[in-house]
Amino acid sequence: MTLNGKIAVVTGASKGIGSGIAKALAAAGATVVVNYASSKPDADAVVAHIHAHGGTAFGVRADMSQAADVTRLFDTVRSEYGRLDILVNNAGVAVFQMIEDLTEEAFHKQFNLNVLGYLLAVREAVKLLGQGGSIINISSILSTDPYLASSVYSATKGAVGYPDVCLGP
């Protein structure tokens, strides 16, 4: 697979699965925007790894649950490259609690990032994708096979995990 000349945004790319996705896209030739919310040192390490392996990447801080931050992230892509080819919606948070211990704060923290954040990113990405490109939403097996104390997290991943969700014409 070659992604030479492609521009990719990976949300939540400073660690874990997002870090691996960012590195793989860069290894395939894409220029990668490494999004992070709070861990600049981790994002810098991902960018440094990509550069050390001959790739192109830069980090952009944006809390994906905040519309203004999401808009700023994609405005940065627009000003740097004028287009986008790949969005990987990966940023997420999990709070595992028994339902009797669930707080509104924990509920909103998960839904605001795991669902609203994905939708905000898609809203901005489609403005840059033009006539082609890919949007990949990272979900979880817990969306269809939840376990104890995962009801809210599982619901958020179910909301974004079905491939037949129509994003537009």
- Domain-located, residue 132: yes
Catalytic (active site) residue 153: yes
Q: Under a CB-based contact definition with an 8 Å cutoff, are residues 124 and 73 in contact? A: yes
- Domain-located, residue 167: no
Quick: pLDDT tens for 18-45.
999 999 999 999 999 999 999 999 999 9
Q: Give the pLDDT confidence score for residue 26 in this predicted structure.
A: 98
- Domain-located, residue 129: yes
Q: Provide the pLDDT confidence category of residue 158 given band limits of 50, 70 and 90.
A: confident
Give 147's Cβ-side CA count (13 Å radius). 5
Which is higher by pLDDT, 164 or 147?
A: 147
Count how many domains the chain has.
Answer: 1
Q: Provide the pLDDT confidence category of residue 157 given band limits of 50, 70 and 90.
A: confident
Q: Give the pLDDT confidence score for residue 54 in this predicted structure.
A: 97
Q: What angle do CA 65, 12, 115 make, to 5 degrees?
A: 40
Among candidates 136, 125, 126, 128, which has minimal Cα distance to 22? 136
Looking up tokens 């179910």 gives 158
Q: Give the pLDDT confidence score for residue 165 in this predicted structure.
A: 46
Quick: pLDDT tens for 89-134.
999 888 788 889 989 999 999 889 988 999 999 999 999 997 788 9
Residues in the chain: 169
Structure tokens at 23: 């590195």
- Domain-located, residue 2: no
Quick: pLDDT tens for 48-91.
999 999 999 999 999 999 999 999 999 999 999 999 999 999 99
- Domain-located, residue 168: no
DSSP 98: -
Instruction: State the catalytic residue, choosing from 36, 81, 153, 162.
Output: 153
* Residue 136: CATH number of its domain: 3.40.50.720
Domain with 141, as residue range(s), is 7-160
Q: Is 61 helix (H, G, I), strand (E, B) or coil?
A: strand
Q: Provide the pLDDT confidence category of residue 144 given band limits of 50, 70 and 90.
A: low
Q: Is 57 helix (H, G, I), strand (E, B) or coil?
A: strand
